[in-house]
Amino acid sequence: MKIVTTAAALWYLGPSYRFRTEAHRDRAIAGGVLKGNLYIKGHGDPTLTTENLFGFINELALLGLTKVEGDLVLDASFFDGQREGPGWDQER
């Protein structure tokens, strides 16, 4: 199954496709502080690990962000509302 999935991903996405994880803010950063919300939008990266998340946070720090005084909002709008594949409920 993994080979079929990989072949389909290469066919539809192409070999140069890269998954994205994006950060957006609703206000400017002043003195390292974001006095607003920080939005994190994922796009289904199957390789996202704890180490990658630390790298992502370090990149935000390199941009000058040291503190968020608003909310951390995780945006899952890239995905549809279906959380389980067809037939998964039958496997329980």
pLDDT at 84: 75
Global confidence as pTM: 0.73
DSSP 90: G
Cβ distance 60 to 34 under 8 Å?
no
Q: What is the pLDDT along the chain (92 residues), one digit of tens a residue?
A: 889 989 999 999 999 999 999 999 999 999 999 999 999 999 988 888 999 999 999 999 999 999 999 999 999 898 887 777 777 766 55
pLDDT at 92: 54
pLDDT at 88: 72
Distance between CA 79 and CA 92 in Å, rounded? 24
